[in-house]
Structure 1
Amino acid sequence: MNDWRIYRGAGLPHDEIQRLPAPPPWRDFSTGSPDDTLAGSDRRLGVKRRLVQNHHPRPAETDAVNAALYLRRPLLVTGNPGTGKSTLAHAVAHELRLGRVLRWPIVSRTTLQDGLYRYDAIGRLQDVQLERAQTGAPGSAAATPAGIGSYIRLGPLGTALLPSEQPRVLLIDELDKSDLDLPNDLLNALEEGEFAIPELERLADREPVVEVLSDDGRKVAVLGGRIRCTTFPFIVLTSNGERDFPAALLRRCIRLELEPPGEEQLRAMIEAHLGTEAAAGDGEQGLVQRFLNREPGEVIATDQLLNALYLTQHASRAERVTRERIADMLMQPLDQPR
């Protein structure tokens, strides 16, 4: 069937959803199990893993990453949307075999507490009340109340600061979306590499070691109500440049401004996600050149190009008008008013 459309808007029910092809590799959530720690990195770096090393990062990028690794300092990465700021954390974790990337997405309501740990006091109170009610019922056996550690879960930052032989990789994504206080609130944790859990400190004389749940979903021991890293994590803070950060934060970070990818980087990225044939056709080359020849200052994200390449592959080669219309729809500049 030549028509690539699944939905036609005719109002007549049909079963052609079965014709829907496999999703783009970067939107395929079916691969891997919930325990597969690298599934998220596969989507970001490309399922053609043998090509990942061919992303051809610029010397400034590798220098900044190595400076952050050597100095045990966070890496503050700024740049336009879609330039690969978040992907950089996954690329480092993949190449250095540092396991799953801990991701902390920032929104306007995010607080430091969200990144360190959460204590479910209400859940604990409800469980205590339920246990008391069950214990008081005739013929019921005495219940053993759950310990306080069952109601504490470490956040991404708290998990990254756990003692470990190798650094964990932590992505603090879109820090510029935070309120004014968060960048300053981060300073002490980033400088000292430790934090306290007051709920556990109060019990330290009676329970010196308490097991809590980490962001990875596993039980970890906390000694004396404090967590202190033995190896400082590799932390990537990303920003789209929507706000300025205080000097106190900037002096604690290695700064990197990511430029839009050049032709070599772009073609390596396409090959990693879609294979070598994805950029070989005349139509595909036209889309790549359109991206590269955009107006100075015009913001088009690389994932917009990947979306256009994937979708135009499924439109009939003869439907030139349709392919161009799809490209126009998917590659609209992000900085133009609607």
Structure 2
Amino acid sequence: MVQLSQAVTAAILAIGVFAHPGGNVNKEILRRQAHLDYPERRTVQSCKRDLIESGWVREQHRRREARLHDIRVAAGFAKPGELVRRDVGEVEEEYGVEASCTLDPEATEGPYWVVGELVRQNLLTGEKGAITHLDINVVDTSTCKPVTDAYLEMWGSNSTGVYTGVQARGNGDGGPSSLVSNALRGLQPTSANGTATFITVIPGHYVGRTNHLHTIVHHGATLLPNNTISGGTISHVGQFYIEQNFLNQVEKTAPYNTNTQKHTTNAQDFLFNMGKQGGDDPVMKISLIGSKIEDGLYATIDVGVNPKARRNPAPVNMWTTSGGKPYPNSPWTGYPDTCKNCGFGGRPPTI
């Protein structure tokens, strides 16, 4: 049994923060602390030498430069021959300093995970906001090689802080309208270089949490004829964030500026601050495609996982052709009022 540190215990008892409107983040904080305390924990930084010597860092840097350039050309903000490359030596020197990395889960799946989402790159489904081309590299920290046979799942709230596929008090108006949409949810397989790519939006804020995206890494899953996955194992449950100064600029644009929910900053978000500990950095690197946010964004982040790790997150709903339906015996059912995972009365246990 690992005793929770006095500092974390005091923080949990004192801050009274919420994972989502009306929900307690105690469970999430405890799981993150367990991750930080894990004696065999390895990070992307641990693999820096191997990834550089294998040429992977150089290859990924050049690929990402070319991808951003191609997106800019397609959007009319650059010409095909105008690609200017950064010195690769500088990139290799800096690599691993800012990289999200994990062995145990970084955070909980939260009360709004919907299982059975589609394998697709474009997650927009009509949603508006800061359109983001998101490029995620997944690295096996036990072998220091890219993970090439996984499915990376991604979901987040829309620009005004509402999750699709679920109905709960505090999620928008709490009505059934969001149940019939699967916008901003989906999965992508990792490629030969360990990359999964999505088109989504910068998520909006909601009461008690800063803006963030959720991710789950699946291994050994089977692609079904209906373009969903089944089976396999889960090694990682995490969250990605946005640098605060840039986020402030996003929040000034439409439709983010119509969001009337109270805004929690990164500095005020206890889970964000815990996510920055232990050498981790779950903040995405973001570049403008044009001259302003409204022209679109390109975001990148690297995630370290141990494919042998076994996580058991619980969905609240499952996606069907008629929308989100309750998942049997989900510990999130009744969120934020009566669910099994709604907290433990403010009294953190030992873990």
Task: Give the shorter-chain TM-score range.
Answer: under 0.3
Larger Rg belongs to: 1
Higher-strand-fraction structure: 2
After TM superposition, the score normalised by the length of structure 1 is 0.27
Instruction: Please give the TM-score of this superposition, normalised by the length of structure 2.
Output: 0.27
